[in-house]
Amino acid sequence: MIVKLFRHGANQKRPRQAVKNAVGYLFSSHDSNGSQRAVEPSLVRGNVDLWSQVVEEGNFAGRYTSGVLAFAENDIPEDTQQRIISDFEKALLPGLEPDQYASLWVRHEDKGNVELHFMVAGEELSTGKRLNAYYHRVDKHRVDTWKNAVNAEYGFLDPNSPNRQQSLTSAKDLPKVKQEIVEAMNEHLTNMVVDGEIKNRKELLVEITKLKLEVARETKQSISIVPPSGGQNIRLTGAIYARDFDANNFSSERLSNRVESYDSSREERAFKSRESLEAMCRKRSEANRKKYCEAEEGGNSLFSDRLDNASSARRSNQSDSIFLFQRQNYRLDFAGEPKLYSMSKNRGNKQRSESMSTKIKKGKNNEADKYRDNDFFENFRRRIRKTRRVYNDALESVRTRAKRFNERNKRSETRKSRFEAESRKIDSAIARLEKQKSRQKSRSKGFDYPAP
């Protein structure tokens, strides 16, 4: 199993379009290449209506975090998937309760394996503050540790296993020319490693130099080269580019021994990874609770009762759909009926889209339907509309000022161009006068006056 976080989730100018694209892809019957999916996507956890509304109309509209848990297996039980999702949310957002954020989980099985796609809205629901679920420099190590712990505990296919290491890992968005150079160079170096001509990194760097390629940087796990055509350096990561690379370790006998040793230490790796993860989560949990401390102050008794009921239901592993309430909004913890919206081209108002929602099985009525139109939800919506009106007014004022500033700049540019034209005319006139003066001096020097 691998964890991959996407770069999508920062379309503040067009939040409705961001929601439409994100939800549309997750539930689409076609994949990113336009091919028909063999298995239709299914909602695992979350509520599309809530998530869409928070991302469309919240304090941080258009901001969300998205990613996927990709498994090599295709027969993971439903209850195991639910436990993994809950465990991942605790590792990704330590110290936060499920009712403090809006998340969405969708399962894809069209590639022959299980992929759990997730999206987390960029607003903490109890305080309305910004919620950045994943910051690469801070959270990468914690997420990787969680991945290692889960792979060891459940026995999933581990990408860190010696027999799963790739000879080359490079950026997928490289230009075509650079990609061809990298593939040709890697094939050449791999063949030399197999033939025994390259045994360590030192010999590898010598061979790269012989190929008339400049090595820009060396790190513990990668090498960066300067492309012949110039531009940004190309980073090469893989088994043969590591600092401790030794060709002897890639023989069939040594490789089998390394795999056997790695598999035998599974329980020890699970224990160490889980212990390290708990320490990192405690540290991050303190920061999150301090930042979103308002969630625990001044709680309403009605909210507290609903939270207690929802928590007890989760502990008893009930599979019914339960909405968790907290001050501003609610969250669906398990699968329910999503309600999708699409923009009308003529009037611009929201209309229900039945084409996508019919693909997901309609759930039974649940307890949350009683509170769907409650006063708290309406107050939250009114607050959102009021905030958006204030933001729109401020944005319009900024646009007006920017327009006036641009007009002044245009006028000043026109004056400047006129001044420059007049200056050029004056300079040319002075040059002509100086030229005429020099001619007169040369004539006066060559004139012979008659003797007296």
Q: How many helices (H) and strands (E) does the chain have?
A: 11, 12
pLDDT of residue 160: 84
Mean pLDDT, rounded, for 93-115:
92
pLDDT of residue 444: 64
Instruction: Name the nearest CA neighbour of 244 among 215, 220, 224.
Output: 220
Name the 3-class secondary structure at 168: coil
Cα 117 to chain centroid distance, Å, stands at 12
pLDDT of residue 3: 94
Please give the residue that has the higher pLDDT: either 42 or 338.
42
b/e code 228-254 from CB counts within 10 Å (16+ = b): eeeeeebbbbbbbbbeebebeebeeee
> Do you know the residue count of the chain?
452
Beta bridge partners of 214: 226
pLDDT of residue 368: 45
DSSP state of 350: E
pLDDT of residue 301: 35
Helix axis angle for 48-57 and 15-26, nearest 10°, is: 160
- The type of residue at 358 is T
pLDDT of residue 170: 65
Rounded to 5 degrees, what angle do the CA atoms 48, 52, 57 make? 155
Q: Per mean pLDDT, which range of 60-64, 88-92, 96-100, 423-427 is the poorest?
A: 423-427
Average confidence score pLDDT of the chain: 77
d(CA 104, CA 331): 10
From residue 191, alpha-carbon distances to 194, 218, 240, 393 in Å are 5, 22, 11, 64
Mean pLDDT, rounded, for 189-209:
85
Mean pLDDT, rounded, for 289-311:
51
d(CA 283, CA 35): 44
pLDDT of residue 105: 95
Pairing, β 234-237 against β 222-226: antiparallel
What phi and psi, each to the nearest 5 degrees, are found at residue 103?
A: -125, 165
Instruction: Name the nearest CA neighbour of 94 among 221, 318, 283.
Output: 283
Confidence of residue 176 (pLDDT cuts 50, 70, 90): confident
Confidence of residue 422 (pLDDT cuts 50, 70, 90): confident
For tokens 């919506």, the residue is 381
Cα 110 to chain centroid distance, Å, stands at 23
Indicate the pTM of the whole model.
0.59
- Report residue 3 as tokens: 């964890």
Q: What is the pLDDT of residues 131-171, one digit of tens each?
A: 999 999 899 999 999 999 999 999 998 888 877 766 667 66
| For residue 258, pLDDT beyond 90 | no
Mean pLDDT, rounded, for 48-57:
89
Beta-carbon neighbour count of residue 374 at 10 Å? 13
The continuous run of DSSP H or E covering 116 comes out as strand 115-121
Do residues 92 and 54 touch, judged by C-beta distance below 8 A? no
Query: If you compute the radius of gyration of the chain from its CA atoms, what whole number of angstroms results?
Result: 32
Instruction: Name the nearest CA neighbour of 299 among 268, 325, 275.
Output: 325
pLDDT of residue 144: 94
**Listed ranges 7-16, 91-100, 187-196; the one with the highest mean pLDDT:** 91-100
Q: List the domain boundaries for the chain.
A: 2-159+268-369, 162-264
Instruction: Name the nearest CA neighbour of 218 among 231, 209, 229.
Output: 209
Q: Work out the percent of the chain whose per-residue pLDDT is above 70.
A: 76
Confidence of residue 376 (pLDDT cuts 50, 70, 90): low
From residue 306, alpha-carbon distances to 104, 183, 371, 396 in Å are 21, 57, 11, 41
For tokens 């300067």, the residue is 226
| For residue 83, pLDDT beyond 50 | yes
Long-range contacts of 196-200 (CB under 8 A, 24+ apart): 196/247, 198/240, 198/247, 199/246, 199/247, 199/248, 200/245, 200/246, 200/247
Do residues 107 and 85 touch, judged by C-beta distance below 8 A? no
Confidence of residue 416 (pLDDT cuts 50, 70, 90): confident
| For residue 392, pLDDT beyond 90 | no
- Report residue 423 as tokens: 């200056």
